[in-house]
Structure 1
Amino acid sequence: MFLFMTILMGLLGILFIFLGWRLWKKEQITLIHDYHYTKVVEADKKAYTEKMGKAMILMGIGIFLTGLLCFLTDSAYGWIAFAVCFTGGLAIMIHAQLKYNHGIF
């Protein structure tokens, strides 16, 4: 069971990291649903995609570490990494949404 969770969480973490990198470095704003960036001014799109991408990378690291730590320690310590990284990434995303899109939706 732990091996399946490790593989699943590892792949999901890598996917989040890859998508976050595409958002941040390639500024591929279309990875986000269009209603999340409809009010973002063209001049702010670079900063918006940077924050959203970094937040997604942070979430991906947390997901990846969850699977790895649960496998290595055979305990639930990995979920602490998940909670910290996912909550931090979500807070950064909400802040970026409020700052650049002037609302969550």
Structure 2
Amino acid sequence: MDTGSLIYLAVMLFSSVLFFILGYFIYNGKTDLIHDYHQKNVTDFKGYGRKMGLAMILLGIGLLLSALLWPIDMRLSVAVLLIIMIAAFVWIYFIQKRYNGGVFS
């Protein structure tokens, strides 16, 4: 494995752990980790936190899968990462729309 691949692996593993930890805390009610204007109109903080936490964990899974697939096939690694990131961001958009009335409302 070359140096670039090792750096990619390290960055993705670090990022995935970060997203797992943030997702865990948000899922367990620490919604103050999300910026105030994203939760200005939220009334159900428990439901909001659980769904946003799961979305963050999904992002962490995407980063981890990408890191693990990189040595096998770089294109597959990037494709999996993009698909999971798009799915997670679409999910976050709908969570924001449902619980906050919009992304910046």
TM-score (norm 1): 0.91
- Residue 33 in structure 1 maps to residue 35 in structure 2: yes
Q: Alignment identity in percent?
A: 35
- Please report the TM-score for the alignment, with normalisation by the length of structure 2: 0.91
The letter of the residue matching 1:53 is G
Aligned length in residues: 101
Q: What is residue 79 of structure 1 aligned with on the other side?
A: 78
Shift of 1:80: 1.4
> What does residue 60 of structure 2 align with?
60
Secondary structure of the corresponding residue to residue 104 of structure 1: coil
| 1:9 equivalent in structure 2 | 12
Shift of 1:74: 4.4
Q: Contact 1:16 / 1:60 at 8 angstroms: preserved in 2?
A: yes
What RMSD in Å do the two structures reach over aligned CA positions?
1.0
Matched residues in 2 for 1:34 and 1:94: separation? Answer: 16
Runs of at least 5 residues in structure 2 that lack an aligned partner in the other structure: none
**Which runs of 5 or more structure 1 residues have no equivalent in the other structure?**
none
AA matched with 1:63: L
CA distance in 1, matches of 2:93, 2:41: 15
Structure 1 segments, 4+ long, off by >4 Å, are none
